[in-house]
Amino acid sequence: MKPAIEIKNLGKQYRLHEAPPYLSLRDVLSKAPWDWAGKEKKADPYFWALQDINLRIEPGERVGLIGRNGAGKSTLLKIISRITPPTRGEAFIHGRVGSLLEVGTGFHPELSGRENIFLNGSILGLKKAEIKRQLDAIIDFSGVEKFIDSPLKHYSSGMQLRLAFAVAAHLEPEILLIDEVLAVGDMEFQKKCIGKMEEVSRKDGRTILFVSHNMSYTAGLCEKAVLLEQGMVKAAGPTATVINSYLHSLANNQPVNDARYPGSAAVRFISLKAVNAKGDVSGNFDATEIIGLEMEYEVLEKDHILWLGYNVHNNFGVNVFDTHSVQTEEYLKPHATGRYRATAWIPAHLLNTGVYFISCAVFNHLKQVIHFHEKDCLVFSVSDQFSAESARGLSPGDFPGIVRPLLKWDITKQ
């Protein structure tokens, strides 16, 4: 089968401008004619926003594109959406592309909600007949039925956004490109949109390329991820692994002694890793395994009583549980200076399958001090196989619940 998206040696060069990117006629005309010939004596420097990008995305895959601001994520999406051309290299796309780099592109305040559905839908590549067919579903999804025939300028910004999302959620291209658009809007509606996209993508095998700063959305929607750094592919593979190397690259950028390193004058955070029973660092665990959360930190001042803690969130943003270092000697006794490693073990058969985000902190609530609280600085995923040893047993499909403990059952015949 042909890949949905195939990118070969793609590169995009921009010119760094000191002045605005467009020219002014005045500047051109005011230059003396002999300057025109030797065009641009002081040439602007060029830089590569993207370089040697090679990617292959199979039909039905959902791929998250992550990386820092300016890493080239949006530029890559713009090239694949054909908004801007590459400087070198090429890309092949098999299938109808729908790109969603913004919600409500082309919305006009003077037109009614209904008219804007047609306009926006058409800009997004829907045929008129398709919009007509889906019109009721779109209006219903948006939840603004009552105002659908009044001009958009009378809508609140929240309503406009809902309408825009409703159109976007009903796009039915084979390949969907999404950029950051979910960063806006209320949480509940965002989840509804993600849910709708996931549903369609599962059912129809739609390919999705998704850019977001929100790691939990990326983890929730995508099974694979690509990490871009300075315009190049730094890592590609299973989402949790790639997100982890991204988070590590963020943390490792700063030297330990640097004052910008997270922490107070007393304690500095060094690293957080997930390890298996053998102590090996991993990004993927089986539901039947124990998972160790291993934090390294450095104590710079003595005589502090330090409590350690983790928050565990799943990819829907639910706080699954918190844990504090209550059963340790250091809970009541001050730390000596030096480097420490603390490991908390999550029992096997506790977490359901999915992606987890761990935040870690060193604090003392009695003294009301938080030395550091690093949010979502570790990601790992939990998966399972069908076996009688897991809580799922032999039942296929989704196994619901925030946790999935393996409980002891007693069955007696009466």
Partner 1 sequence: MEKMLTHIRPPGRFTSGWREVWQYRELFYFFTWRDIRVKYKQTTLGILWVVLQPLGMMLLFTLIIARNWQMDTGGLPYPVFVLAGLILWSLFSNAVSHAGESMIQHAGIIKKIYFPRLIIPGSAVLSALVDFFAGLMIFFALLIFYGQSLHWFSPFYFGAGLLLLLTTALGAGILLSALNVKYRDFRYTISFLLQLLFFSSQVIYPLCSIPQEWLRILLSFNPVNTSIGLFRAGLGAPSPGIQEILAGLCVTLLLLVTGLFFFRKTEAYFADIA
Alpha carbons 394 and 357: distance in angstroms, whole number: 28
Q: How far is the CB of 1 from partner 1 (least distance, A)?
A: 10
Q: How far is the CB of 181 from partner 1 (least distance, A)?
A: 10
In angstroms, give the least distance from the CB of 41 to partner 1.
20
Shortest distance (Å) from residue 319 CB to partner 1: 35
The 3-state secondary structure of 103-126 reads CCCCCCCCCEHHHHHHHHHHHCCC
DSSP state of 240: H
In Å, how far from its chain's centre is CA 238?
Answer: 13
Count CB atoms within 10 A of the CB of residue 178: 24
Closest to partner 1 by CB, 81 or 323: 81
Nearest residue (CB) to partner 1, 118 versus 331? 118
Nearest approach in angstroms of CB 100 to partner 1 is 9
Q: What is the closest distance, in whole angstroms, from the C-beta atom of residue 239 to partner 1 in the complex?
A: 26
Q: Report DSSP letters for 118-187, one per residue.
A: HHHHHHTT--HHHHHHHHHHHHHHHT-GGGTTSBGGGS-HHHHHHHHHHHHHT---SEEEEESGGGSS-H
Residue 401 and residue 392: Cα distance in Å, rounded? Answer: 11
Secondary structure of 388-407 in the HEC alphabet? CCCCCECCCCCCCCCECCCC
Shortest Å distance, C-beta 130 to partner 1: 10
Q: State which residue, 110 or 398, has the beta carbon closest to partner 1.
A: 110
Q: Which is nearer to partner 1, 76 or 275 (CB)?
A: 76
Least Å distance, CB 8 to partner 1, is 10
Is the Cβ of residue 118 or residue 399 nearer to partner 1 in the bound state? 118
For 54, the token pair is 């090679």
Residue 61 or 384: the one with the smaller Cβ distance to partner 1 is: 61
- Give contact residues for partner 1 (rule: CB under 8 A): 2, 14, 20-26, 28, 78-97, 99, 101-102, 105-106, 108, 110-111, 115, 118-119, 122-124, 127-128, 151, 174
Per the document, the length of the chain is 414
Which one-letter amino acid corresponds to residue 337? T
Distance CA 231, CA 6 (A): 17
| Best CA proximity match to 257, nearest among 300, 203, 228 | 300
Asked if residues 56 and 218 have their Cβ atoms less than 8 Å apart, the reply is no
> Which residues have C-beta within 8 Å of that of residue 297, sequence separation ≥ 6?
263, 267, 268, 269, 270, 308, 339, 340, 342, 362
Query: From the CB of 33, what's the least distance to partner 1, in Å?
Result: 17
**Whole-angstrom distance, CA of residue 239 vs CA of residue 224:** 5
* Nearer to partner 1 (CB atom), residue 4 or residue 379: 4
